[in-house]
Amino acid sequence: MFPWTGEIARHWTTIRDEALAIYRHADAIPPLRRISPDHRRIATDDAWRSFFLIGYGNEVPGNIKRAPRTYELVRRIPQLNSAFFSILAPGAHIPRHRGVTKGIVTAHLGLSVPSDWQGCTIEVDGQEVHWRDGEWTVFDDTCFHEVWNRTNQPRIVLLCQVERLLRWPASWLAKFGLAYIRRSPFVREAREELARWEATYREFEDRAPGD
Task: State pLDDT tens for residues 86-98.
Answer: 999 999 999 998 8
Q: Average per-residue pLDDT in the chain?
A: 87
- Beta-carbon contacts of residue 72 (< 8 Å; ≥ 6 apart): none
- Given a contact cutoff of 8 angstroms between Cβ atoms, the answer to whether 149 and 49 are in contact is no
The answer to whether 166 and 174 have CB atoms below 8 angstroms apart is yes
Residue 206 — very low, low, confident or very high, per pLDDT cuts 50/70/90? confident
Contact between residue 26 and residue 87 where contact means Cβ atoms under 8 Å apart: yes
The tens digit of pLDDT for each residue in 138-186 reads 999 889 999 999 999 999 999 999 987 656 555 645 565 665 566 655 6
Angle between helices 185-207 and 170-182 (to 10 degrees): 50
Domain boundaries, the chain: 4-207
CB atoms within 10 A of CB 208: 11
Question: What is 4-207's CATH topology?
Answer: Jelly Rolls (2.60.120)
Q: Find the mean pLDDT for residues 49-56.
A: 92
Collect all residues with Cβ–Cβ distance below 8 Å to 173 and sequence separation of at least 6.
Answer: 103
Residue 57's pLDDT band, with cuts at 50, 70 and 90, is confident
pTM of the model: 0.87
* H or E element that contains 11: none
pLDDT of residue 184: 53
Could you give the residue ranges of the DSSP H alpha helices within the chain? 4-9, 12-23, 32-35, 61-66, 68-74, 170-182, 185-207
